[in-house]
Structures are given as structure tokens and as C-alpha cells.
Amino acid sequence: MIVSPCISICKTDPVTGYCYGCARSEEEKKNWKDPTTSDGWKKENLNEIKKRMDGWQLESFLESYNYKTENGISLFKKKLINEPK
């Protein structure tokens, strides 16, 4: 199973149409949720979205995505869970 690149920063850039958090388009997000989408497509899409990012955006994405693949939640969600109420 390929883990979704969503890192819980779900805001769309009005200029590019890509999500600020994961750099996916709305169509790509739909494809990820489609149970018939192949792992091959998902791996290729992960490579594609990483090419759309650079600098701090890419560094933040990689840190959060790696954490998510190892722990099951993004760093953003972890922070929300651990914040005092």
C-alpha cells in the first residue's frame, strides 16, 4: 500500500491549483481516493508532486510525509492532538 501524500495542510494555491501541503491537483486527489488507481500511478504521482516543490515546501513535505509513513499520521495532525485544550 502506498500512503497518501496528504499532510493535512489542505489549502489550494489559486494561481497553480495545487495544494500548498502536498502539491496535488483536485483531480490527483480524486485519483488517490479511487480504489482502482494502481500503485504504479501513485508512485509516479509522488515523484511528480515532489518535482513541483522546492525549498522549505519540499523539506516540510518530506519531513511530514516520512513521519506519516512511519507513524500513521502527519506531523500537523500530531501537533493538533498534542496541543493543550
pLDDT tens for 33-76 read 999 999 999 999 999 999 999 999 999 999 999 999 999 999 98
What is the band of 30 on the pLDDT scale with cuts at 50, 70, 90?
very high
pLDDT at residue 82, as a whole number: 87
Per the CB < 8 A criterion, the answer to whether 44 and 51 are in contact is no
pLDDT at residue 9, as a whole number: 92
Per the CB < 8 A criterion, the answer to whether 67 and 23 are in contact is no
